[in-house]
Amino acid sequence: MALFRHGGGRPGRTRRLPAVITAGVMAIAAVLIAPLVALLSAPWPAVADTPWLTVSDDGYLSISIPAASIEATVGPVSEVMVEGNFGPSFAWAEYGLTRRGDIWWGALGPLKPGLYSYQVTGDITKGLKDPTNASSVASRPLWSTFLVPGDSARLLADAPQGQGGKVETLAYQAGQQKRSALVWTPPGYSAKGRRPYPVLYLRSGAGQSASDWLDLGRARQILDNLSVRGSVEPMVVVIGDGAGPDGDKDLKDLRKAVADAYRVRHDREHQAIAGVAEGGTRALRAALTKPGDFAYAGSFSGLPTGGALSGGAGRDLRLLRLYTGNVTDPAYNATVRLTKALDRAGVGYEFDGVNPDAGANWTAWQENLIDFLPRLFRTVRDHGPSAGHGRMKGEFHPPAPGTTPTPFLSEGGFVTFETTTEFTDAKHVTVWANDAPGGSWLRVPMSRDGDRWRVTVGPLDPWFYYYQWIVDGVSVKDASNPAKVTSEPNWSHFLVPGERSRLLSDVPAGRGGKVESLTYPSTVANQDRTALVWTPPGYDPRRAEPYPVLYLQHGSGQSYTDWVEMGRAKQILDHEFLDGKLVPMVVVMGNGNVPDFTKELLDNIVPAARARYNVSGDPSRQALAGLSMGGVQTLGVLKAYPGRFAYVAAFSAWFGSGDGVDAEAINKGTKMLRLYVGDQTDFVQPFFLSSLPVLDGLGIHYEYDGVTPGPHGWDVWQKNLIDLAPRLFRR
């Protein structure tokens, strides 16, 4: 990313900037600066037909919902969330919104390309449909959908107008019941033509309807696009819902109705069947137990057993292809067992490999359909798994409930959370963690498992994660996790190891620096206060040359402990020192919760640090940095005392007014002024960007390396410290 400096051109906005705040911003991330509070608390204009949800070209979701619209539909609410498939592996998750004036608002992203479904919910149980989104899901009246475009989702977009096939409803009699199915016919299909078409029967799972294949599976778009490209044989596709009154009899009646109404082939060589979840199980049973009916079969997250494999079943199938998501897919273990049973029975099959990025959901099943369709009614050379899919490594079984502390980390970044038994009578339990795109916070519903609640999420990228339970709307700490956060007692945390998180992990014992407490009298707070101080490995209190020093500040709602407990400052500094990237320095993390931070810093924290540690008082050997409120405080010191600290940095903060600022003194006394901010999900970003013209107008030299991906949270600030620390005291 290009480095922007004053004089080298104004940093351009590479993305559209919605004026929204990250949903569910925690108290530890809140900024309580009076001007900002007043601005954010002011009424926001609301237009009735303004979309509640909008998506930028680069996949950022912006949410702005008028409170009056929600209250008019479901009554007064104290909490609003958008529920959707936003979670890891596209799992269903809850995204809490923040009330700002007359608007409930939030920002999430970047979302991967694909189809997303969602509903709006107040106070956990009061659901409502987004009236500004014309899309609908017939089986789920409260749901809406939106498509995030991208190369990997190009087959989910509408085909050019007039070039796709047609979808019709076919009514038929199944026993004593009247039933219906949806039928897609390919471009150019004519009931009066000479050539009959092969036919694919697509089955839905239990509790699903045939329309889900269209509304959520995007089957029509997939079929249209593949047909336009010539990637599939022309075929008729018949989409049925869950099992009828008699599954096998219903399928027989449906096949007869299709044969009567459409020009299709009747021989098995031109008959295929596939389905999702329980529909996949029924598809396999039909193909394996009735070898004269189907030559092609596919199971998308099916839950089969090996019971239908006796008597040479399935040996004449031209294609039997199995699909499963990752270990969060309930079909994963069933598929492991099925492949073993097929091997024992000598039944040939193909396995698409384990989808690493999706579980049992329509995102995975869309991919399955895209892979399956081009293999039907033709000869293909590629019989291997889809690109990026892996092999199964045996069944997945987290430890039995109550046998291990949580969270339990499994290979591949899968994490199992489990409550204690104290929530047996709870109605709704979620785990709230920074596992959304960019490090935003989602609530993933947990399921009751005996007298506990449990869920497995993932895969999570290697990084530092923090979480808490939300039990019937109440925040609760995971009592089985000893990790603590002093300023926010309900949070726990864990680390997913890997190269990406190496700098956040502990260094080998005895090789890192030390963190000590420094108690000092505060003339501002009129009490003794505490700071934490990191000294580098080999720190020598009698060294002839005093060490350079960085004063590192926390944000509002936090305290001096947060940079160590949540920011992983010790781990970052230890690693960068051992990597040879860090000038040996002392880092002082003080308590900035005072009405006059500048006085507290200069009259109390700095003198106390110099009295106890061998640190320099030379401005050229001193640095000051802070996040959010601490960043605003840092810039306030820069304005009031230019040149007192030669190195200055602000994370997710803003400069504010230029009135009375001595730009010449700042430029003369500052060797580096470096600014950081998160992406669109960092609610400070608009205020930060509005500060840049002020700096430019004053002629102040600064560095801005572009946005740091992530929200107003520790994911961003850890990256900022990783970038900043090696730059200090080198000029």
Find the Cα–Cα–Cα–Cα dihedral 479, 483, 489, 490, rounded to 10°.
-50
Q: How many Cβ atoms sit within 10 Å of the Cβ of residue 241?
A: 23
Residue 312 CA to residue 600 CA, distance in Å, equals 83
Tokens of 116: 């997303």
Lowest mean pLDDT among 304-313, 351-360, 647-656, 694-703: 304-313
Which residue has tokens 């963690």? 433
Is 469 in the same domain as 605? no
Residue 175 — very low, low, confident or very high, per pLDDT cuts 50/70/90? confident
How confident is the model at residue 404, as a pLDDT?
85
In this model, does residue 32 exceed pLDDT 70? no
Counting Cβ atoms within 10 Å, is residue 44 exposed (0-12), middle (13-18) or buried (19+)?
A: middle
Q: pLDDT exceeding 90 applies to what percent of the chain?
A: 84
**End-to-end alpha carbon distance in the chain:** 22
3-state secondary structure of 664: helix
Which pairing describes strands 452-457 and 447-449: parallel, antiparallel, or unpaired?
antiparallel
- Tell me which DSSP letter residue 197 carries: B
How confident is the model at residue 206, as a pLDDT?
85
Counting Cβ atoms within 10 Å, is residue 160 exposed (0-12), middle (13-18) or buried (19+)?
A: exposed
Average pLDDT estimate for 641-649: 98
Tokens of 51: 């979309």
Residue 390 covered by a domain: no
CATH number at residue 111: 2.60.40.10
Residue 479 covered by a domain: yes
Residue 619 covered by a domain: yes
Is 160 in the same domain as 275? yes
Is 224 in the same domain as 327? yes
In this model, does residue 14 exceed pLDDT 80? no
- B/e letters for 417-438, b = 16+ CB within 10 Å, e = fewer, are bbbbeebeebeebbbbbbbbbb
Q: pTM of the full predicted structure?
A: 0.89
Please say which residue of 441, 465, 497 terminates a domain: 497
How confident is the model at residue 422, as a pLDDT?
95
Is 163 in the same domain as 68? no
In this model, does residue 161 exceed pLDDT 80? yes
How confident is the model at residue 569, as a pLDDT?
98
Tokens of 571: 């781990």
In this model, does residue 312 exceed pLDDT 90? no
Residues sharing a CB contact under 8 Å with residue 361, sequence separation 6 or more, in sequence order: 85, 89, 90, 91, 92, 325
Residue 116 CA to residue 171 CA, distance in Å, equals 30
In this model, does residue 42 exceed pLDDT 70? no
For residue range 606-616, what is the model confidence (pLDDT) as tens digits? 999 999 999 99
Please say which residue of 149, 176, 198 terminates a domain: 149
Number of compact structural domains in the chain? 4
Is 70 in the same domain as 109? yes
Residue 308 — very low, low, confident or very high, per pLDDT cuts 50/70/90? low
Residue 431 covered by a domain: yes
How confident is the model at residue 303, as a pLDDT?
84
Is 574 in the same domain as 661? yes
How confident is the model at residue 193, as a pLDDT?
79
How confident is the model at residue 247, as a pLDDT?
59
CATH number at residue 371: 3.40.50.1820
Please work out, in degrees rounded to the nearest 5, the angle formed at the alpha carbon of residue 695 by the alpha carbons of 690 and 700: 165
Is 467 in the same domain as 519? no
Is 553 in the same domain as 619? yes
Residue 276 covered by a domain: yes
Residue 402 covered by a domain: no
Q: Are 226 and 191 in contact (CB under 8 A)?
A: no
Please say which residue of 149, 182, 197 terminates a domain: 149
Lowest mean pLDDT among 241-255, 395-409, 625-639: 241-255
Is 135 in the same domain as 209? no
For 710, phi then psi, to 5°, come to 135, 175
How confident is the model at residue 309, as a pLDDT?
58
Residues sharing a CB contact under 8 Å with residue 665, sequence separation 6 or more, in sequence order: 642, 643
What is the rounded radius of gyration, in angstroms, for the C-alpha atoms of the chain? 30
Please give the mean pLDDT across all residues of the chain: 90
Is 530 in the same domain as 679? yes
Q: Are 723 and 704 in contact (CB under 8 A)?
A: no
Tokens of 284: 């396999």
Average pLDDT estimate for 576-594: 98
Query: At residue 52, what is the residue type?
Result: W
Residues sharing a CB contact under 8 Å with residue 299, sequence separation 6 or more, in sequence order: 274, 275, 280, 281, 283, 284, 321, 322, 323, 335
Is 442 in the same domain as 528? no
Residue 68 covered by a domain: yes
For residue range 97-109, what is the model confidence (pLDDT) as tens digits? 999 999 999 999 9
Residues sharing a CB contact under 8 Å with residue 661, sequence separation 6 or more, in sequence order: 639, 698, 700
Residues sharing a CB contact under 8 Å with residue 464, sequence separation 6 or more, in sequence order: 493, 494, 495, 501, 504, 568, 714, 715, 718
Is 564 in the same domain as 712? yes
Residue 56 covered by a domain: yes
What range defines the domain where residue 72 resides?
A: 43-149
Residue 81 CA to residue 97 CA, distance in Å, equals 5
